[in-house]
Amino acid sequence: MTQATNVTPLFNDLAKIERDHTVACQECSLYRLCLPLGLHNNDLVRLDTIIKRSQNYKRGHILFTDEQPFKSLFVVRSGSFKTTISASDGREQVTSFYFPGEFIGLDAIHQSEYQSNAKALESSSVCELPYDMLQEIGEEMPQLQIQMLTRLSKELAGDRNLMLLLGKKTADEKLATFLLSLSKRFQERGFSATDFQLSMSRSDIANHLGLAVETISRLFSRFQEEGLISIAGKALSVQNIEKLKQLCG
């Protein structure tokens, strides 16, 4: 019943493909998911020049906190991240999880500080886009502006679905919705829609969905009993995706 190995980080495969830190956007396997989509070749080359590609960060690495000045946007190249915001009394809310090709820091644009805290959930790397430069080259690249607006807009729409989830859904529906959202994102990235590793902890999931850790744990157990999923540690396998969809509410 024990899982063979849960060691493999989530996006190791991608990490391998991308292990050369200097790979240009044109050759990056994330191309179709990433910012450069739709840019003309000249523009792409120009964008390329302002991107700083990070080395591999290890689990727990802090990309930025809400006390640091806003300087750059980040795109996940490999691995995954979570962002949190905190209330004055220290309570935290996990606002989002980020996978390869997704933007981190969009909520800080034109603020002096970042508005959230971003932390690596596993071994991860990013492309850093200094915002002043992005803005500069953006003035001559309408396509880039459009991409930025589109990204922001989609993130906004996503957040609003999360508000529906947080405000109106039951614990069962929350978890089902969350798992399907992961499934979809893995699929978009060329991975299995049914078998994947959860890079985040149970308590991250619980927090993100507005539930207690114990509730998540119990739900995983029950979903397993009911044949919806099979889960061992961080390894998840979706057994009945249709039933899961019905559960979403």
Partner DNA sequence: CGCGCGTTTGACATGACTCAAATGCTGTGG
Partner DNA sequence: CCACAGCATTTGAGTCATGTCAAACGCGCG
Report the interface residues with its own copies, using CB under 8 A: 85-89, 91-93, 95, 106-111, 115-116, 135, 138-139, 142, 145-146, 148-150, 152-157, 159-164, 166-169, 207-210, 248-249
Q: Which of these segments, 11-19, 46-54, 128-136, 218-226, binds DNA (CB under 7 A)?
A: 218-226
Asked if 6 contacts 235 with a C-beta cutoff of 8 angstroms, the reply is yes
Asked if 199 contacts 122 with a C-beta cutoff of 8 angstroms, the reply is yes
Q: Which of these segments, 74-82, 95-103, 131-139, 201-209, binds DNA (CB under 7 A)?
A: 201-209
With CB cut-offs between 5 and 8 Å by kind, which of DNA, its own copies, none does residue 62 bind? none
d(CA 87, CA 215): 23
Q: How far is the CB of 207 from its own copies (least distance, A)?
A: 7
Q: How far is the CB of 111 from its own copies (least distance, A)?
A: 7
Q: What is the dihedral of CA 160, 162, 164, 165, to 10 degrees?
A: 170
Q: Is 150 left (phi over 0), alpha (psi -120 to 50) or beta?
A: alpha
**Number of CB atoms found within 10 A of residue 144's CB:** 22
Question: What does DSSP say about strands 195-197 and 81-86: parallel, antiparallel, or unpaired?
Answer: unpaired
Q: How far is the CB of 30 from DNA (least distance, A)?
A: 25
Q: Confirm or reject binding of residue 211 to DNA (CB under 7 A).
A: yes
Contacts to DNA from residues 32-51, by CB under 7 A:
none
DSSP-based three-state secondary structure for 46: helix
Asked if 194 contacts 240 with a C-beta cutoff of 8 angstroms, the reply is no
Binding site for DNA (CB under 7 A): 2-3, 6-7, 59, 170-172, 201-203, 210-218, 220-221, 231, 233-234
